[in-house]
Amino acid sequence: MAILTAPGLATGMAYAAPAVPVAPAAPGTPAAPGAPAAPATPAPGPGATSLEQVRKDIEELYRQAGAATDAYNQAEAEAKAQSDKIVEIANQIVAGQERIATLKSRAGAAARAQYRSGGLPPSAKLALSDDPNQFLDGANRLRQGEKAASDMLTELDRTQNDLKRYAQDASAQWTLLEANRIKQENAKKQTEEKIKAAEELENKLEAEEKARLIQLEQEAQYRAQTAWLSTGAMKDVKGSASEAGKRAVQYATAQMGKPYVWGAEGPAAFDCSGLTSQAWLAAGRPIPRTSQEQLRLLPKVALKDMRPGDLIIYFDDASHVGMYVGDGAMVHAPRPGRNVTMAGAGSMPIKAVVRPDA
């Protein structure tokens, strides 16, 4: 049985070719057979049941932390967009104020010129003029000047209205920015609380129990993956990676062994959507930052049409994402305390598959 052990895996999980048909890895993508080899399972000790419950509790806490991380990342992205918008509005206000100053200066010059002319009515100027043609020429220029003055006043009024609208827009953006700042703080607090609770559970374990916990994680992933493959989910999956997809897969797999850090986008560490968004950015296609926005905004594809480079969104709340790499496997940043690694594509509940380069 051909076994691939990906270098840098935190768990040292090995993958073996499944007994059901799977899509061949696309050229240029790393081989990644679809089902993990079943971990050697020693006879369970007296604390096995309670340790399994601890595993489930820790897993749920980290999943909740992942959802809160997504909320934090989304609020952060929105806050940045609002900050950029406020800067843009500020520049528009400065330009508008400079335009008003110029228009007022021109209006003042026109008023002074009219004052110097004495403000005589046209009929009086014609009677006093020695040269009627010169008067008519001057009158034509006067009409042109009056129209220019009228246009200038109209533009001044429009610019002043623009400044009022800019001020209103800036106020609205500040309100949104403050709301997103509060969202960020709440999401950060929730994330930190969930991670702390999970770490406290894990820190209570003895070294032997921690090793057993990792093995229980592997076994749970193996059961989920083999159950998923046994449904025939991969039998029609034969898609080949696009050129951009190959670049995205190459980037993502090159990060294996780097730690998960919530909110991180590399280069030293990643969270789950930080990894997938940066991989596709490296492939030349910017995509949304969070797994929930990736689900919402990227085109969905049927599982049978999945190809390397596609993103697999997990759990009902779309709180986790991995990148399909071929042969029933995906690469992902799992959770705090674990490194970027390869796992079975069906080792968690799949919600949808999306394609960044559809």
Which residues are part of the catalytic machinery?
A: 272, 320, 332
Which amino acid would we find at residue 1?
A: M
- Rounded distance, CA 316 to CA 310, Å? 18
User: How does 29-50 read in b/e, with b if 16+ C-beta sit within 10 Å?
Assistant: bbebbbbbbebeeeeeeeeeee
Q: What's the half-sphere exposure (Cβ side, CA atoms, 13 Å) at 246?
A: 9
Q: Which residue has the tokens 């790499």?
A: 325
CB neighbours of residue 314 within 10 Å: 24
Backbone angles phi, psi at 10, to 5 degrees: -65, -35
CA-nearest of 12, 21, 87 to 230 is: 21
- Rounded distance, CA 311 to CA 31, Å? 17
What burial class does residue 66 get, using C-beta atoms within 10 Å of its C-beta: 0-12 exposed, 13-18 middle, 19+ buried? Answer: buried
